[in-house]
Structure 1
Amino acid sequence: MNRQEISDAVVDVGWRYILTTLMTTVPVGSVGQAAEVAARCTAVAGDDADRHLSLDLRAGQVLLSLQSIAEGRVSERDIELARALTGSLREIGLATVPAAGRPVQLIELAVDAVNIPAVRPFWKAVLGYGDDPAEAGDPSGAITDPHRLGPAVWFQQMDTARVERNRIHLDISVPHDAAAQRIADALAAGGVLLSAAAAPAYWILADVEGNEVCVTTWQGRD
């Protein structure tokens, strides 16, 4: 399935496709209710729970993520699970919504490097990270937190070192229908739009001192 098909398959049930993951939130009233949601979702996912489902439980919400973890991508099974989880939660009066406080998002750290294989081991060691499952064996591939808590780190190939400019920037991946508001908020807060040439895949913004950040979506990448 391409990215458009993945997004279309889940958007009507309150999930959003972000990077290589399906995400949503379930508003709850307590940690106890969050635990009940987790138990219900785990039961619905059954034997596939460990291979596809991740949960973050808080007093006000449960963050649900679906991905075929070993492959580092969204599969048809993840889409089936998203719809099944939403249906099951609706039976007990709970909803899956992509924005509870703020829209769901994923953050990546991008490191510019002339010699990626030379700098990558340092970042892997200092962060305690491992190879991204989708890029295992690639000496220039992304690295990820094995506990799936910290942001992924990827390496941008440079021909020459950039002087007097930040060489590390954040990529903030947001739902495709939340990007415009996120950019507007950043600009209203004093940010500057440096480039929209690659939009809607990504927009390059900066603070008033030139430190860059990219706001990204899945769109424009198929």
Structure 2
Amino acid sequence: MERTLGRQEASDAVGDEGWRLLLGTLRTSVRVGSLAEAAGVAARAVAVCGDDADGHLRVDLRPEQVVLSLQSLDRAALTARDVDLARRLTAAVRAAGLRTEPGVGTGASRSVQVLEIAVDALDIPAIRPFWAAVLGYAGEAGADGPADPLVDPAGEGPAFWFQQMDRPRPQRNRIHFDICVPHDEAPGRLEAALAAGGRLLSADRAPAFWVLADPEGNEACITTWQGRDG
């Protein structure tokens, strides 16, 4: 069985290759000029991964970009195999005259990111089945306990996770967004949110997360993988 990697180790291993660590996955973007070129990149990626493709690789194709994601899906974790595949994919993309890079969108308007929706709960096992049913979601392989997050089996919608509360807090919204960004993207995203009228409510757990609010008090968190070990 492949060795599971810590966050710092995984990030350091492929950061210089244009990959970023987001919620237990390695992600990168390849800018292309057409959907046909995107399909070619995807086909090359599948070929490079070979028999490991189904168990590790996920691909999102658009006319302007391809987003590649790697994770050992049977464990919902990163392993040494994922790092090896990331390096091989970067080499293959470069051989095609393209680049793996963290920026996505036209003109690399933002970085790769992952959106989560967090739900405050006093009794997580009691409410989790409802959200699984109404969303058509399920737990991840190796992480499907009564308090674990829920994910879209089709890989289209944002993840849902449940924040344990010790008492009701009716004075605040009980559902908020978590935007998981690359660690080197977080300062710029924070600055942009504040410049757009946001307020910083807490940086006590930074760089793991910053708690922000819009002008009416609705909350969102900018999160990274950093500050979560030890």
* 2:130 aligns with one of 86, 106, 122: 122
Structure 2 residue identity aligned to 1:119:
I
Tell me the equivalent position of 2:154: 147
| Mapped pair 1:27 → 2:34 | no
Output the CA distance in 1 between the equivalents of 2:124 and 2:6.
Answer: 29
Q: Kindly report structure 1 stretches of 4+ aligned residues shifted beyond 4 Å.
A: none
Count, aligned residues: 221
Structure 1 residue identity aligned to 2:207:
P
What's the secondary structure of 1:143's corresponding residue?
coil
* 1:173 aligns with one of 180, 184, 187: 180
Mark the runs of 5 or more structure 1 residues left unpaired by the alignment. Answer: none
* 2:83 aligns with one of 76, 79, 84: 79
Calculate the TM-score normalised by the size of structure 1.
Answer: 0.98
Deviations 1:79-124 (A, max 9, x none): 0000000001111101001012210000111100111111111110
Shift of residue 19, structure 1, vs aligned partner: 1.2
Structure 2 residue identity aligned to 1:16:
R
Deviations 1:173-217 (A, max 9, x none): 000000000000000000000010100000000001111111000
Output the CA distance in 1 between the equivalents of 2:96 and 2:146.
Answer: 47
Deviations 1:110-158 (A, max 9, x none): 100111111111110000001122322x111111111111111111111
| Mapped pair 1:94 → 2:102 | no
Output the CA distance in 2 between the equivalents of 1:116 and 1:18.
Answer: 24
**Aligned alpha-carbon RMSD (Å):** 0.8
> Quick one: percent identity of the two aligned structures?
59
Task: Map residues 175-214 of structure 1 onto 2, 5 A cutoff.
Answer: 175-214=182-221
Tell me the equivalent position of 1:105: 113
Output the CA distance in 1 between the equivalents of 2:80 and 2:156.
Answer: 24
Structure 2 residue identity aligned to 1:140:
A
What's the secondary structure of 1:124's corresponding residue?
helix
Shift of residue 169, structure 1, vs aligned partner: 0.6
Output the CA distance in 2 between the equivalents of 1:45 and 1:217.
Answer: 27
Calculate the TM-score normalised by the size of structure 2.
Answer: 0.94
Tell me the equivalent position of 1:16: 20
